[in-house]
């Protein structure tokens, strides 16, 4: 009787055929050109007959950032909607309308905000590099059109090839850039002496960006639940995960974490201390519960993944002890640690799941017991 083979089946390729990839590149180029033309026309009316700084008040940078944001949302939604017909993305046709709507809205919004922050950073650095420089309507219009066109082109290309790994990377980049931008533009230079949530209590651009980022990131994490459920279900079918109910449990935890995170932004401290703190604590407890239960819920994942979970728990608890009772650092430092740990763990978890799904599993001796 022939011996049964233990080799994992080759992962199914979902790469788009060359003709389709060329078509996507062409669509992205056209989308960028449309964004550049439309933004340039609007900017020409705004800048007509004057000299404008690159940054500060009504400036080239502000107009460009708004143009990039609007173009990013429009092109991101369009490109992501069209990409549902690409190889490997057909499963999105099965999503319920409300899930599909949230999916499109969050993916396009995250891309648009990242692009807008990149635009703002570029113009701020240019203004500081050329102190006192002002430009006429022609230069201002050209700079605005170039920013909208280039970042619109990038947005369309990016949303046209979304994978779970890319979503994880985008989430980390989005939270890092938006949080750093809020810190850098905060009107209270001593915000860090209080707590992380201090960034969201003022009536300025910094606080608005911080709270908006939390709301969108929360929606983005709930979007992750769709992809996580799909990828973990693949591992169940491949025989990697021991429990058929694991995908549903993990996706529910992701949804709870996403809703709690969004509520942190919806209810800043100056709106409701109770709701704000309850949401933050709820998100932290959900994450901690997932970490602690992962060896049982996700049984079948590699041992090294559970080692990473154990280290994460130790770092989180150690950071809490350094805050209280040791008093080595303040609440802001601990919140930044926990914040970074949550999103870092999500990124690593997604990469493990994606790698396992692509290879069909790992050697049995590497499974957790």
Tens digits of residue pLDDT in 329-351: 777 788 888 888 888 898 889 88
Name the most confidently modeled range: 4-18, 165-179, 297-311, 338-352: 297-311
* pLDDT recorded at residue 365: 43
* pLDDT recorded at residue 17: 59
Q: What is the pLDDT of residues 107-138, one digit of tens each?
A: 898 899 889 888 988 898 888 888 888 999 99
* pLDDT recorded at residue 1: 39
**E strands in the chain:** 52-53, 134-135
pLDDT at 6 over 70: no
* pLDDT recorded at residue 361: 55
367 phi, psi to nearest 5 deg: -75, 150
* pLDDT recorded at residue 2: 39
Can you list the alpha helix ranges (DSSP code H) found in 186-302?
Answer: 205-237, 246-266, 273-297
Q: How far apart are CA 45 and CA 82, in angstroms?
A: 32
Contacts of 106 (CB under 8 A, 6+ apart): 216, 219, 220, 222, 223
Q: What is the pLDDT of residues 49-70, one digit of tens each?
A: 889 999 888 899 999 999 999 9
Q: How far apart are CA 368 and CA 240, in angstroms?
A: 11
pTM: 0.75
360 phi, psi to nearest 5 deg: 85, 10
């Amino acid at each position: 009787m022939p011996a049964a083979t233990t080799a994992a089946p080759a992962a199914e390729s979902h790469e788009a055929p060359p003709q389709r990839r060329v078509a996507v590149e062409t669509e992205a180029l056209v989308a960028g050109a449309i964004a550049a033309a439309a933004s340039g026309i609007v900017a020409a009316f705004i800048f007509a007959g004057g000299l404008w700084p690159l940054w500060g008040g009504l400036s080239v940078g502000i107009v460009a950032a708004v143009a990039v944001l609007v173009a990013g949302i429009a092109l991101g939604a369009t490109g992501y909607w069209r990409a549902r017909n690409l190889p490997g993305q057909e499963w999105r046709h099965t999503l319920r309308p409300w899930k599909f709507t949230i999916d499109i809205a969050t993916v396009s919004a995250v891309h648009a905000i990242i692009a807008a922050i990149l635009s703002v950073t570029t113009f701020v650095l240019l203004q500081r590099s050329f102190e006192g420089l002002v430009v006429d309507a022609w230069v201002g219009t050209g700079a605005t059109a170039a920013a909208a066109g280039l970042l619109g082109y990038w947005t369309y290309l990016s949303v046209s090839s979304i994978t779970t790994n890319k979503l994880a990377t985008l989430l980390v980049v989005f939270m890092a850039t938006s949080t750093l931008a809020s810190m850098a533009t905060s009107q209270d230079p001593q915000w860090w002496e209080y707590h992380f949530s201090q960034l969201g209590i003022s009536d300025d651009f910094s606080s608005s960006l911080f709270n908006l980022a939390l709301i969108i990131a929360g929606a983005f994490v709930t979007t992750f639940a769709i992809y996580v459920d799909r990828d973990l279900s693949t591992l169940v079918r491949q025989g990697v995960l021991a429990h058929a109910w694991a995908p549903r449990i993990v996706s529910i935890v992701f949804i709870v974490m996403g809703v709690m995170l969004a509520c942190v932004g919806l209810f800043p401290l100056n709106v409701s201390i109770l709701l704000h703190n309850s949401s933050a604590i709820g998100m932290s407890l959900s994450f901690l519960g997932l970490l602690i239960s992962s060896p049982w819920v996700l049984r079948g994942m590699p041992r090294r993944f559970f080692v990473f979970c154990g280290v994460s728990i130790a770092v989180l608890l150690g950071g809490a002890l350094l805050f209280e009772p040791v008093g080595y650092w303040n609440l802001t430092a601990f919140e930044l640690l926990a914040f970074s740990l949550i999103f870092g763990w999500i990124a690593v978890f997604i990469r493990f799941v994606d790698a396992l799904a692509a290879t069909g599993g790992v050697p049995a001796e590497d499974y957790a017991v």
